Amino acid sequence: MFNKISVGFIFFLLFLSQSLFSAEIIFKDGSAFIGKVLEESDLRIKFQWKEKIYEIPRKDLTSIDPSKNGADTSYHYSSFFLKDGSHIKGIVAQETDKEITLKTDLGFIHLDRIKIKETDRPENLNPSFNVKYLDSGNKEWNHKFGISFHGLANGPPLGGTNPLTSGAGFFLEPAFFQIFSFRPGFRIEYQESPGSGHYSFFNQFLYLNGSYRFADKILLDFYSNFGVGASTIQYSGSGQKFGGTDPALYLEIGWQGLQYRSLIFRTGLRSTCIFESSGRFCNGGLEFGVIYVL
């Protein structure tokens, strides 16, 4: 019995060690932090530093080094360009009126101040985290640009003569601001519906996007879109042509748990309703999208 408990405890510790480890992260501006990596994916990491949790896009980092660990701290990797054309990068460990001591991967180096041509060293050698990275639920700070393809089944009255509508579009979900927990978005799409007559739709929607992640797992990441806009309809058939623009609603719910580097893949169920003076027309079906996180 004791042996079984011991084995189970060891596996529990191994699981914790895989999901929580200390590491050094370095931002593109040279700011470096030692803290704990709570979760990581191809797109971002969740990082704990001084009892606060941050979500950081990988594209903002130059490296993650688990070999460098210890108490939560911060420092800056500064570059020094010397008058002889050489370049040295390291952490300022000590300085006097005559020289600066740098800690580098090769050890400590003493630089004579009169030999330094220029440096990018900041005034504050112990940087603090930018508050924009603070984890606040599913708040994200990257712009998203995507393309989508969809196939929809038409409802009455159009469905009797034109059963299907298919199309493609593109959309943008900027990160300038959020409305409560929703991100605004804009999408443009073109659709066609062949049948006894030919219909084409040019749709434009402003919508709100919501993200819902369960158990804080990437694979359990879902989304919803709800928008309002307009649809420009063109019809041709039986020797006739006519068109017009009508108000429209757009709704979509789906899964976005498949992610690779800066790409997010969405699969969802969607519906569109167009409101004409004589009544409304709706369709619904599947949509597939690919998002590039800027």
What CATH number does the domain containing 179 carry? Answer: 2.40.160.20
What's the farthest any 2 CA atoms get from each other in the chain? Answer: 91
Number of structural domains found in the chain: 3
pLDDT at 11: 46
Are residues 64 and 82 located together in one domain of the fold?
Answer: no
DSSP label at residue 133: G
Are residues 209 and 287 located together in one domain of the fold?
Answer: yes
**Domain span holding position 197:** 144-293
Mean pLDDT across 265-292: 94
Are residues 232 and 151 located together in one domain of the fold?
Answer: yes
Domain presence at residue 267 = yes
| Of the residues 12, 46, 70, the one at which a domain ends | 70
Whether the pLDDT of residue 122 is over 60: the answer is yes
Are residues 211 and 265 located together in one domain of the fold?
Answer: yes
Domain presence at residue 133 = no
Q: What is the pLDDT of residues 168-203, one digit of tens each?
A: 999 999 877 778 778 899 999 999 999 988 999 999
Domain presence at residue 194 = yes
The tokens of 223 are what? 């989304």
8-17, 66-75, 142-151, 187-196, range with the lowest pLDDT: 8-17
Are residues 61 and 167 located together in one domain of the fold?
Answer: no
CA distances (Å), origin 154, targets 26, 251, 280 = 52, 15, 12
Are residues 56 and 172 located together in one domain of the fold?
Answer: no
Exposed / middle / buried, residue 148 (Cβ in 10 Å: 0-12, 13-18, 19+): buried
Domain presence at residue 126 = no
pLDDT at 2: 44
Domain presence at residue 87 = yes
- The pTM for the full model equals 0.59
Most confident option among 173-187, 207-221, 241-255: 241-255
| Of the residues 11, 43, 70, the one at which a domain ends | 70
Q: Give the 3-state secondary structure of residue 12.
A: helix
